[in-house]
């Protein structure tokens, strides 16, 4: 085979056939369509966890709502208590004068 163009076509055709065969083998069209029982169990567990997560999120939302309400009431009570206090907020302390002695 001295024709270089013929060799190039033969190599290109061999590469195409190689990759086409590779793709067919990788796709595994001959495998059975029977579902794996582990996958079915996993899907059931996922569905159960989704339902449980909905319930947990509802409980957390209700508790956080209760917390925010109690926090607002506590802050309001603190504000009322601060307004009712007549004592000054700052206490002034008088210190004796500072005596500095030099030793040199």
C-alpha span between 32 and 59 (Å, rounded):
44
Mean pLDDT taken over the chain: 88
Angle at 13 (CA atoms; ends 7, 16), nearest 5 degrees: 140
What is the number of domains present in the chain?
A: 2
Q: Match 């056939």 to its residue by tokens.
A: 17
Render pLDDT for 24-75 as a digit per residue (tens, 0 to 9): 888 877 766 677 889 899 999 999 999 999 999 999 999 999 999 999 999 9
| Element spanning 77, H or E | helix 37-84
Length of the chain in terms of residues written:
104
22 and 54 co-located in one domain: no
Of residues 2 and 71, the one with the higher pLDDT is 71
| Element spanning 53, H or E | helix 37-84
Q: 48 lies in a domain?
A: yes
Give the per-residue pLDDT at 86: 64
* 13 pLDDT more than 60: yes
26 and 37 co-located in one domain: no
| Domain span including residue 56 | 33-82
45 and 24 co-located in one domain: no
């Amino acid at each position: 085979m001295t024709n270089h163009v013929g060799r190039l076509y033969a190599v290109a055709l061999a590469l195409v056939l190689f990759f086409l065969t590779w793709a067919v083998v990788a796709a595994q069209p001959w495998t059975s369509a029977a579902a794996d029982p582990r996958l079915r169990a996993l899907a059931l567990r996922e569905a159960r966890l989704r339902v449980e997560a909905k319930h947990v999120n509802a409980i957390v939302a209700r508790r956080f709502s209760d917390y925010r309400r109690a926090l607002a009431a506590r802050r309001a009570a603190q504000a009322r208590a601060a307004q009712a206090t007549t004592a000054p907020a700052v206490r002034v302390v008088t210190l004796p004068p500072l005596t500095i002695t030099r030793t040199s």
